[in-house]
Amino acid sequence: MLQIQENVSLKNFNTFGVDAKARYFVEISNRDELVELFMDPQWLETDRLVMGGGSNMLLLKDYHGLVIRINIRGIEHRISHEDVFVEAGGGEVWNDLVNYCVTRGYAGLENLSLIPGSVGASPIQNIGAYGVELKDVFQSCCAFEIASRTFKTFSKEDCKFGYRESVFKNELKGQYIIVSVKFHLSLAPHFNLKYGAIEQELANRGITSPTLKDVSQVVSHIRVSKLPDPSTIGNAGSFFKNPVVTVDEFEAVYTKFPDVVHYPAGDGLIKLAAGWLIEQCGWKGKVVGNTGTWKNQALVLVNHGGATGNEVYNFSSQIIDSVYTKFGVRLQREVNIIS
Ligand code: EPU
């Protein structure tokens, strides 16, 4: 029997550690419970917020509707020759899945070690790190369509993945709840070590032919050294996206700031390192009230304790304004703002 709770604190359910309340709150442990929930027309009409690990959201105030926390568990795998197909419940912790695969020798997720959040959230913004994106290992996902109370399989093409983008953030926003994700992995690793820091750290450890475990450990080490641990300092990873600009826009920045950190982004576009832009504006490591940017990564906004969502949001607006004034580039928030 589903338990709908009232006025539940979300402090421990969002990695920013913002103390906001949900008017209604329900935890979902299996697919049948989703169907059962939406048999009640009240919940079809109420505003909803679906949460996984709560690692990519900023709550500006108490949530007036129903918070649905997805806790659907289970990991299964099937091996066919060198191919491994792993299917995980949407409520699995992302890094538990990575460890499950790394320890069994299933290659593909190792560069995505230690990303906070849940498996079900991973396709929504096509999570990525250290030269690998979810779409590179994604086979399909199963999602619950709220309006019809049916389950539908989405292929990679259906998901329309882009840089921190998918169909679930855009045209299908709010219509589906991801219940499981299937990954196409391999018994034969194709390591992606092109991210400089990975090669450097492997060299520091004297490793010349790395194993999956080595790569996972090195990636975890780099993340820990750069990014704050949400269990001690509230944060939601990168707060902004790295801006993708046209050649003309890039040249306007480059002429004045030839050191600007940038990468090719395909289709003649160029990606700028938002962390660099923010640091150049003097924000790196700044503490402003209860919030600020992280001392080792200016792209990460943190809650030093007791910050409200609005405080963090207003601070992020100050950063956007100052980067725009200096560079003429408008940063976009990557974190979901819940108002
Ligand atoms: N940089 C600075 N100052 C800073 C931060 C970065 O100058 O304070 C410059 C450095 O030159 C650095 C470059 O920016 O070489 C890139 O920085 P980093 O390698 O830390 O990566 P990022 O572009 O800032 C992205 C993802 C991260 C992911 C890392 C590693 C986005 C929005 N963020 O950050 O993802 O872990 O690459 O692949 O694309 C997340 O999405 O939450 C996240 C943490």
Taking only the tens place, the pLDDT of each residue in 206-234 is 999 999 999 999 999 999 999 999 999 99
Q: Which of 69, 164, 223, 333 is catalytic?
A: 164
Residue 23 catalytic?
A: no
* Average pLDDT of span 126-153: 97
CATH code 3.30.465.10 for 75-186:
yes
Query: How many Å lie between the centroid of ligand 1 and the Cα of residue 275?
Result: 6
Domain with CATH 3.90.78.10 in the chain: 234-338
Model pLDDT for residues 5-35, shown as the tens digit of each residue: 999 999 999 999 999 999 999 999 999 999 9
69 is catalytic: no
Q: Which tens digits make up the pLDDT trace of 68-111?
A: 999 999 999 999 999 999 999 999 999 999 999 999 999 999 99
Q: In a mutational test of the pocket of ligand 1, which residue from 135, 238, 277 has the highest number of ligand atoms less than 8 Å from its CB?
A: 238
Q: Is 113 a catalytic residue?
A: no
SS3 content of the chain, % helix, strand, coil (to 5): 30, 30, 40
Task: Tell me, in angstroms, the distance from the centre of ligand 1 to residue 299's CA.
Answer: 7
Ligand 1 pocket member 279 (CB < 6 A): yes
pTM for the model: 0.96
Q: Give the separation between CA 265 and CA 117, rounded to whole angstroms.
A: 26
For the chain, percent of residues with pLDDT exceeding 70: 100
How many angstroms does the Cα of residue 235 sit away from the middle of ligand 1?
Answer: 15
**Ligand 1 atom nearest to 273, measured from its CA:** 14
- pLDDT for position 287: 98
- Tell me, what's the pLDDT at 25? 98
User: Of 3.10.105.10, 3.90.78.10, 3.40.50.170, 3.40.50.2000, which CATH number belongs to 234-338?
Assistant: 3.90.78.10
- pLDDT at position 88 is 98
Average pLDDT score over residue span 116-131: 97
Confidence (pLDDT) at 202: 96
CA of 30: how far to CAs of 34, 59, 66, 69, in Å? 7, 26, 18, 11
Arithmetic mean of pLDDT over the chain = 97
Q: Is 261 in the pocket of ligand 1 (CB under 6 A)?
A: yes
What class is the 5-70 domain? alpha beta
pLDDT tens-digit series, residues 273-306 = 999 999 999 999 999 999 999 999 999 999 999 9
Q: Delimit the CATH 3.30.465.10 region(s) of the chain.
A: 75-186
Which contiguous run of DSSP H or E holds residue 292?
Answer: strand 291-294
- The per-residue pLDDT for 195 is 85
Q: Which of 299, 323, 327, 336 to mutate to test the pocket of ligand 1 (most atoms within 8 A of CB)?
A: 299
CATH 3.30.43.10 domain locations along the chain: 5-70
